[in-house]
Amino acid sequence: MWIDNLTDKTSVICIAVSGEQELQRELQIVIKKLSGKSDYNVIISLANIEMLTSSSLSGLLILRHSLSRIGRQLILCKVGFPVKGVFRTAGLNSLFHFATDMLAAQTMIQQTKRPEIQKTTP
């Protein structure tokens, strides 16, 4: 996990995980870190995730809800085909923002002046 400062008012917590268990651990850390703070957007790279469990989906939903309540964004990037299928099957693909890579995700955040950004279908 690392933090990038995109502007003086926008910081991004970036997470690149190598497996399902690491994703769950990182989600718990980020949710705790964000409690009470409104100055972070979150980008999560799922490049190395081949399948998501209900526990990880739940964590992503909780994180998304927490961020959207304070006007911030969660963007998932590098989402592989099997994981995209999980989002579609669960009917969650319209709830999340997707980008092709970290740079595209950061660009989405920088170009957004409101919490609602254009959603792209995985």
Domains of the chain, CATH where assigned: 2-111 (3.30.750.24)
Mean pLDDT of 65-93: 90
More confident residue, 89 or 34: 89
> What's the pTM value of the predicted model, to 2 decimals?
0.80
pLDDT tens string 39-73: 788 888 888 888 888 888 999 999 899 888 888 88
Contact present, 42 and 68 (Cβ < 8 Å): no
Q: What span, in angstroms and rounded, lies between the C-alpha atoms of 106 and 55?
A: 26
Smallest CA-to-CA distance from 20 within 66, 72, 86 is with 86
Q: What span, in angstroms and rounded, lies between the C-alpha atoms of 41 and 50?
A: 24
The three-state secondary structure class of 50 is coil
